[in-house]
Amino acid sequence: MRFIPTRLHAIADYGTAVLLFALPWLLGLAATERGEGYGALVAVCVAAGAGLALLSLVTNYEGGLLPAVPMPAHLTADAIMGAVLIAAPWVFGFAETFGDWTWAAFVAIGLMEIGAALFTHTRSPAAVPTDPRPGTESHSGAQRPARI
């Protein structure tokens, strides 16, 4: 059952992107001795945050500025990103270096991404029609006549 409106999903996408960018500082790692794995942790946070922000900008929903990616594809990417975030602390070797709070934050954000992918509506009421074939709605919203 999908119950999360795409408008709320759009807001959560941008909020999560900001959270990922800020995560090293929120975990208190920016002011500590960085140690092994810090570069990987920051790279994962920046890449995931930038990827999520870019995906949001090009998704065909309320938060998209250039509606090129359909909502089902966006949700698939969210689920994949969630799985990557859950695995990242162990794959990139910073789970033991920075302690439980670090890997727990990645797992929590990853689970949130997967949950959002599973429970968000697949169609946005604000979606721009993308099928310019005859007989379908044009980008202006007017019905196009069918060819004979």
Question: Is 141 domain-assigned?
Answer: no
Is position 136 within any domain? no
Examine residue 146 and state whether it is found in any structural domain, yes or no: no
Model confidence at 103, pLDDT cuts 50, 70, 90, reads very high
pLDDT at 119: 97
Give the model's confidence band at 93: pLDDT under 50 very low, under 70 low, under 90 confident, else very high.
confident
Range of the domain at 62: 6-119
- Whether 140 shows a pLDDT value over 50: the answer reads no
| Within a domain: 127 | no
DSSP class per residue in 104-141 = HHHHHHHHHHHHHHHHB-SS-TTPPP---STTSB-TTS
Rounded distance, CA 78 to CA 61, Å?
A: 14
Residue 134 is assigned to a structural domain of this protein = no
Number of domains in the chain: 1
Position 76 in a domain: yes
pLDDT in tens, 21-69: 999 888 877 655 566 678 889 999 999 999 999 999 999 999 999 999 9
- Segment 126-145 mean pLDDT: 59
Distance CA 28, CA 37 (A): 15
